[in-house]
Chains A and B, each alone.
Chain A
């Protein structure tokens, strides 16, 4: 097996405008994000020969994007997928570059996630859902129709077993909202959240209130992946990929059959082995945060804090600036924006490159960054980047 440690890098990141009603198409958003990433990398569109995207049937195709960047691509791939797709596509891109299929790959996620197709449910055909989801007829007739409920069943049990409380969920939200107050592009910029306000917020779906849910936004994000050699020709400082575990699954495709295992449990040991570092070495993180509890469960899975001590870890302010592991420092999907995780990838790259140096947004001298993806309890991937 080829050793890929530090031989590949993310050399460009970019995003479109973020809104609740873009008034334009995912293709326009994708073009804006791609042009920004290309400019960030300091390359020409024609230097990119591979294009990849993930979507829930709510985007444009990679071939369309390449076309309107004026590029004839050698390789395009559009997959169906949400969380953890970015990590998977980066790993795919590395494999393609390694085998000489392409040199440089642009990966994007473009969506009108608020004004177009919404993930939070509503408008779904219930019979389609029963067939589309493994074991769907065992959950849909009971009103369990969205991730808040599916993941919530894991959360209630996990909280019961490990002593996590509502307030611990609140610490995740309050910490990330605090980051968003330093990020003028964050959705909840100017809308800080206190623990008091969090605790007074009624449940939408116990154990979650609206702050525990990620937001919905219209936006596109793009990143550019290439080899460490080609990275030298880029104007940006490369964020080197120390290790990546593309995609792991749990034992059963009907993942509710076992609330004790999540895919991140399998990703973590492989990831640290590949990267050659341990959780204690991490300086900064982007932890997939479709729900606040998902962050807590991953802190356990990725060995950031031992099982049973995750609550104390977040209550001590360790996800905040100055904490042991400042995380989701642009606000995350709870308070910045939502592109199934890619906005969190952009942020970890910017932190690792020290883009914010000299401001209160920079995690000072950060060297190692963890970025996790979570499609659900069933599917996960992650990577570790270094300066």
Chain B
């Protein structure tokens, strides 16, 4: 059956991130002028306004710590009705604590999720050519 949930839309500013995700890699935008990581990616650095941006490849071994989370018991968007309860977490990257990535926490009882919990990134192949970064317990 076709994937029923929203598929990340690529655009001019974010496509390197999602292209990397499709290859099961994490790419984070970084400002060449002030060194600040920019996430979500944008047309310029949100800290200094510089348009001198590059992409740092954090590879496929990405670990992080849960910074915050919610547990959804009702689908607030179509397609999620079979995923309840759904954990949506903000995760601080171990290699770049400035960066906090939002994704679901999979393979885990929602009751066991807590702030400070260690997680690692995995990639869900959602269509033939698209993959979605997700978190699982480390």
Interface string of A275-314 (1 = CB under 8 A from B): 0000000000000000000000000000000000000000
Interface residue ranges of B25-53 to A (CB < 8 Å): 39-40, 42, 46
Total residues of chain B contacting the partner, CB 8 A: 39
**Quick one: given A126-B6, A152-B70, A251-B46, are A138 and B78 in contact (CB under 8 Å)?**
no
Docked-complex contact A140 and B69, CB < 8 angstroms: no
Q: How far is the CA of A256 from the CA of B8 in the complex (A)?
A: 17
Interface residue ranges of A131-180 to B (CB < 8 Å): 131, 134-146, 148-149, 152-157, 160
Closest to B68 in A: A157
**Quick one: given A137-B18, A141-B8, A257-B40, are A205 and B71 in contact (CB under 8 Å)?**
yes
Docked-complex contact A141 and B72, CB < 8 angstroms: no
Q: How far is the CA of A141 from the CA of B102 in the complex (A)?
A: 10
- A356 at interface, CB cutoff 8 A: no
Interface string of A240-284 (1 = CB under 8 A from B): 000000000001101011010000000000000000000000000
**Quick one: given A137-B14, A138-B40, are A121 and B68 in contact (CB under 8 Å)?**
no
Q: How far is the CA of A137 from the CA of B40 in the complex (A)?
A: 9
* Total A-B contacts with CB atoms under 8 angstroms apart: 124
Most chain A CB within a 10 A radius of its CB, from B8, B14, B40: B40
Q: How far is the CA of A115 from the CA of B39 in the complex (A)?
A: 38
**Quick one: given A153-B70, A205-B72, A205-B74, are A138 and B102 in contact (CB under 8 Å)?**
yes
Q: How far is the CA of A205 from the CA of B5 in the complex (A)?
A: 19
Closest to A143 in B: B80
Q: How far is the CA of A130 from the CA of B5 in the complex (A)?
A: 12
Docked-complex contact B68 and A259, CB < 8 angstroms: yes
Interface string of B52-80 (1 = CB under 8 A from A): 00000000000000011111111111111
When distances are taken between beta carbons in the complex, the residues of chain A under 8 Å from B42 are: 134, 254
Q: Which residues of A contact B (CB under 8 A)?
A: 121-122, 124, 126-127, 129-131, 134-146, 148-149, 152-157, 160, 202-207, 251-252, 254, 256-257, 259
Q: Which residues of B contact A (CB under 8 A)?
A: 5-11, 14, 18, 39-40, 42, 46, 67-80, 83, 85-86, 88, 90, 100-104, 115, 132
